[in-house]
């Protein structure tokens, strides 16, 4: 038997599907679609692994500590993300609305809430803001593109992205407070 999403998601889905459709409509333009796909793929892991691995080179004394902080924080966030995703079971927009919202990238699973890509983008940007703010001019636009890509590719609702960003920010703030 398939898990059932809470009724609040049914109401949110109806409210958000038009917005998702409008955002996804821009993906008909090939250069924009290529930009979204690239951002989504970078948000899978390559950029965040590079940022994490660079910590010892960016910071002489504290670099290894920062590397460990990034790994532990991201790992704990993944655990919470997986628990939420598998318990709340909100189906992705392209599944819920079929042909009315196209999925322009393969999905790893059926569920969309919260956005893990956005969670990690915000988490790593917030940690980087504290440790290497000079990287933010590169990372912030990428994080924004990653968040937009999730909706633009038909994989997430806007509220999934907002929730993912909120969770990522909360983990980063808690990590910085504990390490401080």
Q: What is the pLDDT of residues 14-37, one digit of tens each?
A: 777 777 777 767 767 788 888 888
pLDDT above 90 covers what percent of the chain? 47
Q: Is the pLDDT score of 1 beyond 60?
A: no
Q: pLDDT at position 53, please?
A: 92
**10 Å Cβ neighbour count for 138?**
12
Q: Is the pLDDT score of 155 beyond 60?
A: yes
Residue 99: pLDDT band (50, 70, 90) is: low
User: What domains are there in the chain, each with its CATH number?
Assistant: 7-179 (1.20.144.10)
Q: Is the pLDDT score of 116 beyond 60?
A: yes
Residue 102 CB burial class (10 angstroms; 0-12, 13-18, ≥19): middle
The whole-angstrom separation of Cα 42 and Cα 24 is: 19
Residue of 108, 86, 99 lying closest to 155 (CA atoms):
108
Mean pLDDT value of segment 112-138:
93
Q: What ranges in the chain are assigned the alpha helix state H?
A: 7-25, 30-44, 46-53, 55-58, 63-88, 93-96, 116-131, 136-152, 158-179
Q: pLDDT at position 90, please?
A: 82
Distance (Å) of CA 40 to CA 9, 54, 64: 24, 21, 28
Residue range 159-174, pLDDT digits in tens: 999 999 999 999 999 9
Q: pLDDT at position 106, please?
A: 63
Q: Is the pLDDT score of 102 beyond 60?
A: no
Residue 103: pLDDT band (50, 70, 90) is: low
Residue 152: pLDDT band (50, 70, 90) is: confident
| pLDDT, the chain, mean | 86
Residue of 4, 10, 22 lying closest to 102 (CA atoms):
22
**10 Å Cβ neighbour count for 31?**
7
Structure tokens at 10: 């049914």
**10 Å Cβ neighbour count for 133?**
10
Residue range 63-88, pLDDT digits in tens: 899 999 999 999 999 999 999 998 98
Cis peptide before 78 (omega within 30 of 0): no
**10 Å Cβ neighbour count for 76?**
13
């Amino acid at each position: 038997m398939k898990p059932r999403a809470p009724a609040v998601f049914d109401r949110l889905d109806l409210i958000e599907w038009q917005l998702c459709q409008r955002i996804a409509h821009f993906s008909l333009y090939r250069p924009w679609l290529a930009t979204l796909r690239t951002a989504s793929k970078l948000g899978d892991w390559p950029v965040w692994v590079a940022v994490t691995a660079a910590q010892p080179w960016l910071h002489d004394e504290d670099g290894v500590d920062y590397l460990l902080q990034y790994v532990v924080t991201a790992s704990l966030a993944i655990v919470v993300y997986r628990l939420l995703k598998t318990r709340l079971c909100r189906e992705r927009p392209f599944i819920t609305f079929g042909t009315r919202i196209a999925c322009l990238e393969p999905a790893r699973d059926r569920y969309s809430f919260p956005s893990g890509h956005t969670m990690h983008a915000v988490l790593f940007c917030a940690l980087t803001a504290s440790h290497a703010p000079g990287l933010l001019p590169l990372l912030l636009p990428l994080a924004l593109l990653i968040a937009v890509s999730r909706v633009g590719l038909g994989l997430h609702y806007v509220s999934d992205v907002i929730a993912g960003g909120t969770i990522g920010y909360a983990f980063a703030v808690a990590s910085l407070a504990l390490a401080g």
